[in-house]
Amino acid sequence: MAGGDQKEHNFLMSTLPEEPDLTTTFCIDGYLKPYEQEIRRRYTCLKELINKIDNDEGGLDQFTRGYEKFGVHRQPDNSIEVTEWAPGAAGIYLRGEFNNWQIEDRCAFRQGEYGRWHLRIPPNPDGSCPVGHQTKLKLGIRLHNGEIVDRICPWAKMVARPHNVPIFEQIFWDPPEDQVYKFKHRHPGQKEGLKIYESHVGIASWEGKVATYKQFTDNVIPRIADLGYNAIQLMAIMEHAYYASFGYQVTSFYAASSRYGNPEELKELIDVAHSRGITVLLDVVHSHASKNTVDGLNQFDGTNSCYFHDRGRGTHDLWDSRLFNYTQPEVLRFLLSNLRWWIEEYQFDGFRFDGVTSMLYHTHGMGHAFSGNYDEYFGLNTDTESLVYMMLANHMLHSIYPDFMVTVAEEVSGMPLLCRPLEEGGSGFDYRLAMAIPDVWIKMSGESLVIDRGIALHKMIRLITIGLGGEAYLTFIGNEFGHPEWLDFPRAGNNESYHYARRQFNLADDNLLKYQYLNNFDRAMIRLESRYRWLSHPQNYVSLKHQDDKVVVFERADKLLFIFNFHTNKSYTDYKIGVQMAGTYEIVLDSDAEEFGGHKRLDHGIKYHTFPEPWCDRANHLFVYVPCRTAIVLAKTD
């Protein structure tokens, strides 16, 4: 069921049990048993919040549709209605191109209950709408000292910056029906075995400029599909003031970044990805917000709180940003509705939640080298309010969109139960990013100074990561062909240069260059996983980790045998390998093959037969030739 097809969700909302069933939880990890009381307390906090929303707001479905009421809306009779939440304001005015930017009585909001303000502007005498498509708007917030300050509606669907002006303006996005993009394809519905291509639209071109949604749709999605990736994670989509922030200083949470194009072009991008069977995840930033006031949420109503905590708790010192007050019902409405907006309006399939570690702890994880001691996760440093917000978000998303929803946590502390179901006392995420793995590879590859050795290691690193790294795989745009330059956005320190804020796909397409070999290997590796689907297969056994030989051997998905020789110069003839399943094996992937820039030292016509003698705790064994700096995958064929 596509997000846009779901109009009534109350009957779909799953009901959480009164108490979590911790039987499975403690079977998986008995060390959690001493923390049972704290696990149950967190679950109780979630249940109490859900019950409060049910009683006060008519349920989560209604509560999370805030975008239908708040913000600027054209009504069927062409009148304009606006609702804003600004509890600290003394008054609010709507002004813009439609009234020559005047502060006038007909555009003054009336004060309602619970800090809300309401405005209705009737249709023009000829029946047309007083605020036309692409009209520039601002909110004038009257402070209690009489001063009127400019603000942008927090629910704005589109904002843009005039040329060489560093402040966004709200653009009333209300295109004629024939200009609204109509989705043609449904959600792919993939939840397991995700092979994610992490992307930034702005850098998705070889040219020194900000690339567009359209360019990404036409040029990059075909590459992603050709490689075999089945998911795209889009970064820096939520509008942000500072391009070099990588999208992490969000100013307008409901506006797709206008740097790359308009909202309809983003919809087309997602729909085209869906036509290829590709899941599209949004990198969502609900951990903090930009400190901008004129075009951000900060001091929206003239006070230092409103959407955020006041004083020290409301500021992230390292990121120089504001921190949400997750105890405030209107903040919960704003953020939860924001998640639904990106699904209902743009048809995203799920989210990568940014900054989860920062949200989990009062210290935001700063200056804390987590040792793995469970006391670190179940003590007073854990921010229950933030944690319960994420639990609630996962409950809402997986209940309303069970057929396709995927949530990923960017979390580095190792919080237990983060990816267990809520019913088992968990936080409800589907995946957690294994952030420590790339750090190891970066260090290792940084010490590889010879090009031939570096290429060989690059291929082996990818294969062992997708082979052992977890239940999904992620690469960053350009890594598939070993992009030769780092990423550095235009900023004062580099004279606003775009030279390093681009991806040179032309390098992979040049048959005279070696980048093609890494691209070819990435394609073969990703397609091999699609064929055997080991990421979603439970069978996984490491039979050998030989430090002196520099050999690693493991089995996946019953049929596959992965063999790695990381030694810089030693190759092994008739190397004895343990394997559980008896039978005949053949090479299905060889990092040393010619098309991957290797030395083609292996004969792919050889069939490897097992012998019924145990080896390395496996029931059988076989013998293989394993060249140095080579990884091979054997598949059982009978």
DSSP output for 315-362: EETTTTEE-B-TTSHHHHHHHHHHHHHHHHHH---EEEETTHHHHHBT
SS3 at position 406: strand
Smallest Cα–Cα separation from 353: which of 286, 414, 431, 415? 286
For 356, how many CA atoms within 13 A lie in the half-sphere containing its CB?
Answer: 29
Q: Which two tokens stand for residue 69?
A: 């009421």
Strand partners of residue 164: none
Tokens 């091979």, residue?
Answer: 632
Q: Which helix (H) or strand (E) holds 631?
A: strand 630-636
Strand partners of residue 226: none
CA 67 – CA 212 distance, rounded (Å): 26
DSSP state of 178: G
Catalytic residue among 169, 344, 354, 430: 354
CB count within 10 Å of CB 569 equals 7
DSSP state of 101: T
SS3 at position 118: strand
For 578, how many CA atoms within 13 A lie in the half-sphere containing its CB?
Answer: 18
Measured between its terminal Cα atoms, the distance across the chain in Å is 40
CA 143 – CA 120 distance, rounded (Å): 21
**Residue 44 neighbours by CB under 8 Å, 6+ apart:** none
φ/ψ (deg, to 5) at 199: -135, 150
Smallest Cα–Cα separation from 427: which of 444, 442, 415? 415
φ/ψ (deg, to 5) at 320: 55, 50
**Which amino acid would we find at residue 318?**
L
Alpha carbon 329 to chain centroid, angstroms? 25
Q: Is 548 a catalytic residue?
A: no
Answer for the pair 82, 72: CB distance below 8 angstroms, yes or no. yes
Catalytic residue among 57, 81, 265, 410: 410
CA 155 – CA 172 distance, rounded (Å): 11
Q: Is 439 a catalytic residue?
A: no
> Torsion angle of alpha carbons 465, 471, 475, 476, nearest 10°?
-130
How far is the CA of 412 from the CAs of 364, 407, 606, in angstroms?
A: 11, 16, 44
> Torsion angle of alpha carbons 601, 602, 605, 608, nearest 10°?
150
Strand partners of residue 322: 289, 315
SS3 at position 408: strand
CA 71 – CA 52 distance, rounded (Å): 25
CA 487 – CA 475 distance, rounded (Å): 14
CA 556 – CA 473 distance, rounded (Å): 15
Active-site residues, by number, are 354, 410
